[in-house]
Structure 1
Amino acid sequence: MLDGGVIVRALAAPGRPHPHDVLIAGGGLATGVLLWTLRLHGGPPLFGLPASLTLLALTVMAAAELLRRTAPMAALVLALPALALDFCTGTLIATVLMFTDVVYAAVLYGPPGASRRIPLYSELLTVLATVVTAAVWRVPQVMLVGIGLALITMAPASTGLIIRNHRDAAQSARLRAEQTALLAEMDRTQAVAGERARMARELHDLVANHLSAIAIHATAAQTIDDPAATRAALGVIRENSVQGLAEMRRLIGLLRDPKATGEEPAATPTLDGVAALVEQARTNGAASGLAFVLDDARRPAGPSGPSSPRGPADPSGGRPPAPVELAAYRIVQESLTNALKHAAPGEVRVRIAHDPGGTLTVAVRSPYADRPGPRAPGSGAGLVGMRERIALLGGEFDAGPTDGPDGTVWWVRAALPGTGEEGRR
């Protein structure tokens, strides 16, 4: 019974015949005994050997069939002398057919090297036997010897090799498909994780600034018994509430289908909006004794002011790429939010500049306060988000307290590749 190579050796326990092999061996043995009993064999024994040895050859061949899957090379070693003995004692067709199956199984289930050598040896044996027989007898009928040997050696060996090649190709294709599916799943997981991290950064940067201002001024309104100060705090709270709600709506619009909702995504923030951030922080931090100053060294010389001092022209000759501008804007935004929460009363200075090599640098310095807790609660994800933004763009980031002549200050520094392809053109 030929199974086409679908069942591999792992299905059978080592040293224990597979159930299919037991059926093949038992069926071959029973058929051979029946043929011998009916005297349906090839002819009289040669060399004076007793006819009963035909049954011995049949039994050995059946034993080889039991090992066809668990020990295919040992089965072939047993089958070869059994076939020779069968030829010399009358030749039962059942023994010959079982031999062909043993050859087929040796190629299909044997080691890779044996599967390549057995077909070659069967071809050489067929050619050699045909040539020798023709040289001895010199009659046309000797060609039947070659045909018979080819049918019992070359044909099963070639069939086993073809099926093995197809099986190996199918296994390779299945492995490649599994690897492709695994890589696709890994890419999908990484894409989902990256998108979730990006959404978390955007949500934090968009809302945290407004919510921090609301919390700070709500605390001030509760603790200061001054109607004018309370009205001013409520005004700031309302303004930040409206702006925070608008930012949330824009973020939701980015996550929805604009065609289905009728909403258009908001424009990407740029460094031109940093002055508005500083002005808003100045308003929100006035009650905490914080003064905010913007030093924008990218701009050409112009009128000086508290939020736009004079500085050298932008040496890059063009705007930074949009992702760089967005990252720089978010760095300033998060740094100002952290200053509102943690900084001691004093000056908070924001500096933006282009280095001679075209690198865009952002630095925010604020007075360091060793307080037990912030003015407003936070998630603690601000510095993590800033580091992630800079790392994605291949820049450098540093944040922490630094001792200076004016005492301890908190520095946030970011260096970004500030010149894109458009700027270099």
Structure 2
Amino acid sequence: MTRTEYPWLLPSAMADPLDQELPGDRGRVRPRRTVRDWVVDIVAFLFAAGIGLLAVQAAEQARTPEAVLLADQLIGAAACCAVWLRRRWPVALAAVLAVVSMLVPIAGGALLVSLFSLAVHRPFRPVAALGALALVCGVASPYLRPEPDLSPLASAVAGVVLVLLATGWGMLVRSRRQLVVALRERAHRAETEAGLRAQQAQRLAREAIAREMHDVLAHRLTLLSVHAGALEFRPDAPPAVVARAAGVIRDSAHEALQDLREIIGVLRAPGEDRDEGERPQPTLATLGALVEEDRRAGMRITLDSAVPDPATVPAATGRTVYRIVQEALTNARKHAPGAEVTVTVGGGPGSGLTVEVRNPAPAGPVTDVPGSGQGLIGLTERATLAGGSLEHGKTPDGGFMVRSWLPWPS
């Protein structure tokens, strides 16, 4: 498994969840405010203005000079209006309001709103830095602008609690939004993975069907080719020979159509494990019928089977042996016509099943057939998927050999 195959495992996605960005974290404002944006902004402005009015009343009770009170009110109103800019410049606004609220308590409500918005829209590091700045300013404010009813220590504790509440609440909202985003990404990733698994399953099914069609139809079509070629080059053959060749062609065409119909029927089946076809799947027990069919077609084949009871061989293993012998006989018919082919099968439970198909060198030159070699590649893949192995190549006498070993559990 690589990170390029699974992009959600990249370092950016494995960072601390508190540092992950959310939509809107970089200060991009929507072109048009939604109804929800207007409601939230109005509530935030009213909250900041309400805290400011309470601070104005406290300043009036403390008999603050009118000039200072007027300046505080103007600065406080500007701070409340600045709340509308918290989405675009949350860091700068929080820093400015933290310093301003230290000298102008009326701006304290705007500071709490800006800290909340900052904690919602920014990762942990800037929130921690500006939160510390706000705490320092909150502790220093009672000593610079003391309140008559509270001691500086009590005012400082109240300011620290309010700053921590606003920041903590904002971080809680951010964590919830991150959870929602993570769940959405996980659901999207699960859908993507399911789609990829479905595509992979379809691809594997198509490859399996293609291999099965090649193994089945190539054998039948070579019989048609051999006997059709004999009729073409022997137009003066006796009627009995012509009738026998025509019968083989008819039977092979019929068998090919039935095999093709069965394979295509797999695509139309509702489930994958559908074995109730019109004819049973070939196994090791039907290997003799395959050899006999090729003998009737004119091949010379010697079958040496050392398996006492072919019915005891697992169906999947027997079917693989059948396909290997079928493809090897097809290749021998194409590349070594007239040569005697020897098929040897042996083995037992626990030791595995061995099959070997060997033919001597052809009597004359053989023309290469387009697509030669693809069947052997398919056989190698089939044997590997079955847990075995397959080797093939020329023999010292110029012939050809295909040998395979397949597991046979005890």
Normalised TM-score (structure 1): 0.71
Deviation at 1:348, TM superposition (A): 1.0
Assess if the C-alpha contact under 8 Å between 2:317 and 2:406 holds in 1.
Answer: yes
Aligned residue among 387, 400, 409 for 2:399: 409
Assess if the C-alpha contact under 8 Å between 2:223 and 2:249 holds in 1.
Answer: yes
Assess if the C-alpha contact under 8 Å between 1:65 and 1:102 holds in 2.
Answer: no
Q: Distance in 2 between matches of 1:55 and 1:138?
A: 22
Assess if the C-alpha contact under 8 Å between 1:107 and 1:118 holds in 2.
Answer: no
Q: Who is 1:193 aligned against?
A: 203
Q: Which amino acid aligns with 1:412?
A: V
1:323 aligns with 2:337: no
Q: What is the SS of the residue equivalent to 1:9?
A: coil
Assess if the C-alpha contact under 8 Å between 2:360 and 2:399 holds in 1.
Answer: yes
Query: Residues 233-244 of structure 1 correspond to what in structure 2 (within 5 A)?
Result: 233-244=245-256
Q: Who is 2:103 aligned against?
A: 85
Change (3 A) 1:75 1:254: same
Assess if the C-alpha contact under 8 Å between 1:118 and 1:157 holds in 2.
Answer: no
Q: Distance in 1 between matches of 2:159 and 2:147?
A: 17
Q: Distance in 2 between matches of 1:258 and 1:264?
A: 13
Q: Distance in 1 between matches of 2:389 and 2:127?
A: 59
Q: Who is 1:163 aligned against?
A: 173
Query: Residues 262-277 of structure 1 correspond to what in structure 2 (within 5 A)?
Result: 264-277=277-290
Q: Who is 2:230 aligned against?
A: 220
1:173 aligns with 2:163: no
Change (3 A) 1:123 1:81: closer
1:392 aligns with 2:405: no
Deviation at 1:167, TM superposition (A): 0.6
Q: Which amino acid aligns with 2:306?
A: A
Q: Distance in 1 between matches of 2:31 and 2:157?
A: 32
Q: What is the SS of the residue equivalent to 2:308?
A: coil
Q: Who is 1:103 aligned against?
A: 115
Deviation at 1:178, TM superposition (A): 1.9
Q: Which has the higher mean CA deviation after the structures are superposed, 215-224 or 108-117?
A: 108-117
Deviation at 1:268, TM superposition (A): 2.4
Q: Who is 2:24 aligned against?
A: 8
Q: Which has the higher mean CA deviation after the structures are superposed, 237-246 or 144-153?
A: 144-153
Q: Who is 2:220 aligned against?
A: 210
1:282 aligns with 2:298: no
Q: Distance in 1 between matches of 2:386 and 2:251?
A: 33
Q: Who is 2:345 aligned against?
A: 352
Change (3 A) 1:48 1:258: closer
Q: What is the SS of the residue equivalent to 1:266?
A: coil
Deviation at 1:367, TM superposition (A): 3.1
Deviation at 1:106, TM superposition (A): 1.8
Q: Who is 2:367 aligned against?
A: 372
Deviation at 1:48, TM superposition (A): 8.4
Q: What is the SS of the residue equivalent to 1:293?
A: strand
- State how many pairs are aligned: 368
Query: Residues 20-39 of structure 1 correspond to what in structure 2 (within 5 A)?
Result: none
Deviation at 1:411, TM superposition (A): 1.5
Q: Which amino acid aligns with 1:418?
A: W
Q: Which amino acid aligns with 2:169?
A: T
Assess if the C-alpha contact under 8 Å between 1:321 and 1:418 holds in 2.
Answer: yes
Deviation at 1:379, TM superposition (A): 7.5
Deviation at 1:333, TM superposition (A): 1.0
Change (3 A) 1:176 1:116: farther
Q: Who is 2:6 aligned against?
A: none
Change (3 A) 1:137 1:58: closer
Task: In structure 1, list runs of 5 or more residues that go unmatched.
Answer: 301-313
1:245-289 CA-partner distances (Å, limit 9, x unpaired): 332343344444599xxx7453221111111111112222x2xxx
Q: Who is 1:310 aligned against?
A: none
1:292-347 CA-partner distances (Å, limit 9, x unpaired): 111212238xxxxxxxxxxxxx9xxx933321111111111111111111224321
Task: In structure 2, list runs of 5 or more residues that go unmatched.
Answer: 1-20
Change (3 A) 1:84 1:392: same
Deviation at 1:125, TM superposition (A): 9.2
Tell me how large the CA RMSD over aligned residues is.
4.4
1:189-234 CA-partner distances (Å, limit 9, x unpaired): 1111111111112222222211210111011111112133322211
Assess if the C-alpha contact under 8 Å between 1:64 and 1:78 holds in 2.
Answer: no
Change (3 A) 1:297 1:282: same
Assess if the C-alpha contact under 8 Å between 2:120 and 2:171 holds in 1.
Answer: yes
Q: Distance in 2 between matches of 1:120 and 1:327?
A: 73
Q: Which amino acid aligns with 1:73?
A: V
Q: What is the SS of the residue equivalent to 1:325?
A: helix
Q: What percent of counterpart residues are identical?
A: 28
Q: Who is 2:9 aligned against?
A: none
Aligned residue among 281, 302, 312 for 1:293: 302
Assess if the C-alpha contact under 8 Å between 2:227 and 2:249 holds in 1.
Answer: yes
Q: Distance in 1 between matches of 2:242 and 2:184?
A: 71
Change (3 A) 1:272 1:166: same
Q: Which has the higher mean CA deviation after the structures are superposed, 175-184 or 113-122?
A: 113-122
Aligned residue among 166, 169, 194 for 1:184: 194
Q: What is the SS of the residue equivalent to 1:408?
A: coil
